Structure 1
């Protein structure tokens, strides 16, 4: 196990300093927690081939494959070979602020939003060098297919099949109501320029603050060359997850 898990569980085990070091020594990583834990581990081991199986002990758990109470059954199915692997795309963002360059990866989304002041910000967006529009609102979510059921969905974006090769661009509370989510090709290069003098904006990746942004700062977002592998038990499906986790129900007349 990794050092953090060992400190929490106090179990006797071979301990490695972090998830990346551990991934190089095992055939499968069991990640116990919620989506936040899964996102952190996915970023830490990005580019490695070791698959991840998420054990949900958190809340909604879109990224976790099984609940903690199902763990014994899940392990039995793994030992008998009843599983598949699925590769998930990550996003990569590069920003320049205050003479420094920041680079980050995200499995779910890259978000540019207003900071502590709850005021509108103006964001000028181009895709592959082609001007799109100037978004005025609370911010912008640039999400991978995996992240379509996270912040993007809450902001009114579409639900995207996790294996789809696209990037979603979703404005947060846009001032212009005709501004809607855009679905872009996964090879798109997105550039966002901050136009607002005040307040400052902030850049985050999977909910983790990266840096503040001021007028004139630019952020480049594109698909990362790194991916992560998730394990799924045979018989599970994305649509089943939608039905159960979003409580979809049909109606009868």
Structure 2
């Protein structure tokens, strides 16, 4: 089996778990591809006696590997989206971070998870993405996101006004600190903390969630992902922040941009002992009375 490994820099407390991952991959005689910058970071820290293949971007692994393994939290998993793109390579994450909705494998389950992965005891959970188009091509060819798009204030305390249009028809002017457009996958991320609902995968929806809206009767809205959303900005500041997952660019208020469904999906690996519902219950602590702890 050919597995690609992606990761960020980590603290020394995480080192034993990363070593355990590489030990397990060696045990199962996996042909290993490691992200070049991550390989440089772990050099001298991680022991792996066999030859490693290095990759820099999606061109090096497209059609070459069976699975992408992400070592870190949900942010690290989101990074892999720009490496996988439309290749269809399934991705699975081992959670070295905090909550871990996307990177769902716990540190204590590394050996059993990799065994299941190598033995192909898993299913594929396909997730939709959103795509951003702008008149200045702000994000280049990385204009897609698995979780969400966010536009928000940059350098002052004044509210911004975001004029939103749905298939060209005026929807609303949001007086707020910002606005989130989330996919069902992203409904458990930033949008959730701003009062947005949880939307199940494959619901074929977008979620529009204002950030601290001035008018309290302005609530999150769920729409079909077959629609195209377009936006115009207004405010006292001349600069704002536009984010796609973990990538952020500074924009000015003259920028017009639109959001629609991307033409490809990302394939998440679900081991046979887990499901979206089990992950949701565990991460949200549903059914647990914290007063007893």
TM-score (norm 2): 0.80
Report the alpha carbon displacement of residue 219 of structure 1 after superposing the two structures with TM. Answer: 1.4
CA contact (8 A) 2:167 2:228 kept: yes
Question: Could you tell me which residue of structure 1 aligns to residue 96 of structure 2?
Answer: 57
Paired residues for 1:130-145 under 5 Å: 130-145=169-184
CA contact (8 A) 1:110 1:141 kept: yes
**Among 125, 135, 141, which residue is 1:86 paired with?**
125
Question: Could you tell me which residue of structure 2 aligns to residue 46 of structure 1?
Answer: 85
Q: Give the Cα–Cα distance (whole angstroms) in 1 for the partners of residues 106 and 119 of structure 2.
A: 19
Work out whether 1:239 is the aligned partner of 2:277: yes
Paired residues for 1:73-152 under 5 Å: 73-96=112-135, 100-103=136-139, 104-152=143-191
Question: Could you tell me which residue of structure 2 aligns to residue 194 of structure 1?
Answer: 233
Work out whether 1:218 is the aligned partner of 2:251: no
Q: What is the alpha-carbon root mean square deviation over aligned residues?
A: 1.8
Flag the structure with more relative contact order, 1 or 2, with Cα contacts below 8 A and sequence separation at least 6. 1
User: 1:171 is paired with a residue of what secondary structure?
Assistant: strand
Question: Could you tell me which residue of structure 2 aligns to residue 160 of structure 1?
Answer: 199
CA contact (8 A) 1:6 1:13 kept: no
Report the alpha carbon displacement of residue 19 of structure 1 after superposing the two structures with TM. Answer: 5.0
Larger Rg: 1 or 2?
Answer: 2
Q: Deviations over 1:150-182 (max 9, x none)?
A: 011011101011222111000000001011111
Q: Give the Cα–Cα distance (whole angstroms) in 2 for the partners of residues 187 and 64 of structure 1.
A: 28
CA contact (8 A) 2:104 2:279 kept: no
More helix by share: 2
Instruction: Structure 1: give runs of 5+ residues left out of the alignment.
Output: none
TM-score (norm 1): 0.92
User: Which stretch shifts more, 235-244 or 31-40?
Assistant: 235-244
CA contact (8 A) 2:239 2:250 kept: no
Q: Deviations over 1:167-207 (max 9, x none)?
A: 10000000010111111101110001002242532211113
How many residue pairs are counted as aligned between the two chains? 248
Q: Give the Cα–Cα distance (whole angstroms) in 1 for the partners of residues 118 and 68 of structure 2.
A: 14
Aligned CA distance change for structure 1 residues 225 and 171 (closer, same or farther; 3 Å): same
**Among 41, 49, 53, which residue is 1:8 paired with?**
41
CA contact (8 A) 1:47 1:228 kept: yes
Q: Deviations over 1:93-112 (max 9, x none)?
A: 1223xxx3324211110001
CA contact (8 A) 1:65 1:231 kept: no
User: Which stretch shifts more, 10-19 or 35-44?
Assistant: 10-19
